[in-house]
Amino acid sequence: MISPSDTPLPATYYIGFCRQCGTGPLGLRTCGDCGNVLVVCDECDSAWVDGEVDQLPATTGVTTLPCPHCQSDVFEEPGHWSTPEELLYCQWLNDSIGRGDVTVHTSLTPPPEDDSVV
Ligand SMILES: [Zn+2]
Ligand SMILES: [Zn+2]
């Protein structure tokens, strides 16, 4: 189902499933150039600048996925799946968690209905 073509780190954080393709997990990925934490779909290669994933993606890609902030390919090194430290300092993420809009998961299981915030 998910092919680990770009060898993601084990500690990958997800905030749910993609509303564009319906199947892709939405991962939190850090752009290697500008350092912004983005929401990216593993499946259809869409990127959002924050947790507003009900909106259309800010950028989409096919073999590369341009960062909405700086246009670098976020799947290219040194882009990486966000670390706990990066998530801790990510303003939009903390705001979204605070509002209850976003729940962070570390596995690909569908989000439970309760709020198991990391
Ligand atoms: Zn960037
Ligand atoms: Zn998708």
Neighbours of ion ligand 1 (CB under 5 A): 31, 33-34, 67, 69-70, 72
Instruction: State the ligand closest to the CA atom of 71.
Output: 1
Over residues 71-118, the pLDDT tens digits come to 999 999 999 999 999 999 999 999 999 999 999 998 765 545 555 555
pTM: 0.82
Distance, CA 64 to ligand 2 centroid (Å)?
A: 14
Q: What is the pLDDT of residue 6?
A: 52
pLDDT above 90: percentage of residues in the chain: 75
37, containing H or E segment = strand 37-41
pLDDT at 108: 62
Distance CA 51, CA 100 (A): 11
Query: Ligand 1 centroid vs 118 CA: distance in angstroms?
Result: 25
Ligand nearest to the CA of 31: 1
